[in-house]
Amino acid sequence: MTLARPVLRAVPASFPPYTLRLPEAGAIPLICDSPHSGTLYPDDFGYAIAFDTLRAGEDTDVHVLWDSLPSVGATLLTAEFPRAYIDPNRDLEDIDPAMLDGAWPTPLNPGEKTRLGIGLLWRDAGPDGRQPIYARRLGVAEVQSRIARYHAPYHAAMREQIEAAHARFGAVWHLNLHSMPANSYEGLQIQSDHPLADFVLGDRDGSTAAPEFTAMVAQALRERGFSVAINDPFKGVALIARLGRPAERRHSLQVELHRGLYMNETTRERSTGFDALREALAGVSRDIATYVKEQVK
């Protein structure tokens, strides 16, 4: 079992917002991102919740599990900041105005994620998703600074890689990489009569990726012994909705993996299954790369 680096309660807020790993083999139009695995908690966060409870929102180590992607020609973008601070998989208008200490200068459009307490600015956290993060309201200038320092640069980097790949190859495939807690149905307030799958692929009901691409990724996972669900319970949020336009040969797929496969959800420590899962995903990455190469011959 490989060991993770320590996670600190607060670090100076001047760190780079993301890490970008470019293809190590011949580049292919496969752009992947892990928007929620960041573990650098800015020292201006000002949270009022136990740190271990706050960390329950992380997709801890997802970028490590998929770290073979550049070796097959893909690009891998990883957020360094935590999603509870500002979530790069949310639209800028998805803010609860009750969290702010003043009026936002432009119209807001809080959606279902904000209702659940996990909009652009997380209101709540914890294993049950119901524990308040703050004992204060956030300043408008403070939130604007979070957007400018972290959210905007992440999206600019993603847009640059996507557009460059599409311009070069005439097509692009995007994987939006996540992990999901064992109690995901409960957290989303969804009743289900079946257990959470090992992997959930989200293409917003077929609107963000060609069905054959979604099916190919599902098959690659099933061949390695994993159970796979499609759009149940995660369909994908802002990133794939913005990027996925199959008619233009722009395919975007969200990939959620069950945290029970690789971590202790209470301590966030890597489990004995970590290395085996990492190796399996290296094989899945090779299969996806082969598919993409075939599409752009």
How far, in Å, are 62, 166, 253, 263 from residue 225 at the CA level?
19, 33, 20, 18
180 CB contacts (<8 Å, ≥6 apart)?
A: 196, 200, 234, 256, 257, 258, 259
Number of CB atoms found within 10 A of residue 50's CB: 12
Q: How is the chain split into domains, by residue range? A: 18-89+140-295
pLDDT band at 187 (very low <50, low <70, confident <90, very high): confident
pLDDT in tens, 75-95: 999 999 999 999 999 999 999
**pLDDT for res 25:** 84
Percentage of the chain modeled with pLDDT above 70: 99
pLDDT in tens, 256-273: 999 999 999 999 999 999
pLDDT in tens, 230-244: 999 999 998 999 999
Superfamily of domain 18-89+140-295 in the CATH hierarchy: Zn-dependent exopeptidases (3.40.630.40)
